[in-house]
Every structure is written in C-alpha cells, then in structure tokens.
Amino acid sequence: MRILLVEDDAMIGAAVRQGLAHKGYAVDWVQDASEAELALRVEPYELVLLDLGLPDRSGLEVLANLRRGGSEVAVVVLTARDSVADRIAGLDTGADDYLVKPFDLEELCARIRAVQRRKKGRAEPLLVHGGLMLNPASHECSWQGAPVFLSTKEFTLLQALMERPGAVLSRAQLEERLYGWGHELESNAVDVHIYNLRKKLGIELIKTLRGVGYLLGNPT
C-alpha cells in the first residue's frame, strides 16, 4: 500500500517510515503542509498519516482542503497534542482515525489495517479467495490449508490482487504498491515477484492480460 507520511519531527518520521517499509508498505515522507499538498496532487495514495502540528500550517488545514476537494483517501491523524478537542476536530474535519504520540508501531499498523478494511467495506480481517487465505495482520498465507512462505514484496502484491478480486491491476499500479520515492525500480521487478508467486501457488492463480496487467483467476 502506498502511504504518505506527513511529519516534521525527524526522529518520528524516520522511525515510522522505516518501520512501515519493513512491513511492506511503500512510504513517502514529507515534512510540511505545502509538500504534503503537492504530493497529494500528483500521487495516488491509499492512506495519509498526518501530523497536526506542522511548521508552515496546521495539518487540520491540509485535511480540510483534501475533503473540500472531494478526496476520499484514508487519513489517520498523528498528534502529540492529546487534548480531546484536537481529536474531535481531527475526526470532524474528516480523519478516519487518530493516534496520540508516542504510539507503538504495531498499534499504528493495526489501525492502518482497520481503516483500510472500513474503506473497502470489509469487516473480515482475513482475505480469502477460494483455497487461498491471507492474513494482513500476521503476514501469514495459506494455500489449500497449507502454509506458504512469501517474501514481504510477494505478500504485498498478492494482497493488492486479493483486495480487488476480478479487477485487473496494471504493472504500474502494482509497482506503486511496492515502492515509495527514491527506490531504484528494476523494470521487471513485478514480473519476477509474480513469477515467484506462481511457483509457490500454482500457475493458474494469477492471470496475465497481456499489455493490460494482472488479476486473480477464478477461485478453485
């Protein structure tokens, strides 16, 4: 999942970016409101982690502008200001959830997963497609009841396909899920991960529509 992290505190920003990258999220990090608005105009993020106390303007203003512009991107507000008024203002301005600093990375990840489920209209935390089961919380995968060991990037790609069964995802869309800014992108990275997934899960599971992209085959 592609995430925009808006945080001016260098230590928190670096720690969150590294922690989320380790979990397989593609994270772009900006440090003020203007950079955040620029990034949101040009990149298709699925989620924004938004600090409220930013050096140039309040994160609340960024959030208000986003919602005024019709954006439905998921927003989790991060704030050191733990006053009830701030949390209420964040939620009422259109945030999907909030976390008060300091927070635990595991809790942040759990909230990201919960917000994503709600956005996709799903209450069930497990992703199931025929004999294939994916648990985004524990990063476990099983196929026909047997555990399958996937790399972080393989898991991320498979999750992207399972979240939208029947939809064709282009190579560019899948690359978006794997890489944030500043990552050297090998031109065939997605193909290599798909090849490895097919080796582990059977050739039939992931279909290629030549020149268009990839989709999950019918469940078996």
Sign of CA dihedral 144, 197, 45, 16: positive
The contact pattern for Ca ion, residues 6-25, with x = CB under 5 A and - = no contact, is --x-----------------
Convert 199-216 to b/e letters by CB count within 10 Å (16 or more is b): eebeeebbeeeeeebbbb
Closest residue to Ca ion using C-beta atoms: 53
| # binding residues, Ca ion (CB under 5 A) | 3
Q: Work out the angle at residue 219's Cα, subtended by the Cα atoms of residues 114 and 207, and round it to the nearest 5 degrees.
A: 95
Which of the stretches 47-55, 61-69, 182-190, 191-199 binds Ca ion when contact is defined by CB under 5 A? 47-55
Member of 32, 35, 37, 53 binding Ca ion (CB under 5 A): 53
Using DSSP's 3-state secondary structure scheme, residue 29 falls into strand
Q: Which is nearer to Ca ion, 8 or 97 (CB)?
A: 8
Member of 51, 96, 163, 175 binding Ca ion (CB under 5 A): 51
Q: What number of other Cβ atoms are within 10 A of residue 87's Cβ? A: 19
Closest approach of Ca ion to the CB of residue 181, in Å: 21
Which of the stretches 5-13, 31-39, 102-110, 209-217 binds Ca ion when contact is defined by CB under 5 A? 5-13
Cα–chain-centroid distance for residue 67?
19
Closest approach of Ca ion to the CB of residue 78, in Å: 8
Residues 124-143 that bind Ca ion (CB under 5 A): none
CA 120 to CA 63: how far, in whole Å?
20
Closest approach of Ca ion to the CB of residue 55, in Å: 8
CA 158 to CA 28: how far, in whole Å?
21
Q: Which residues bind Ca ion (CB under 5 A)?
A: 8, 51, 53
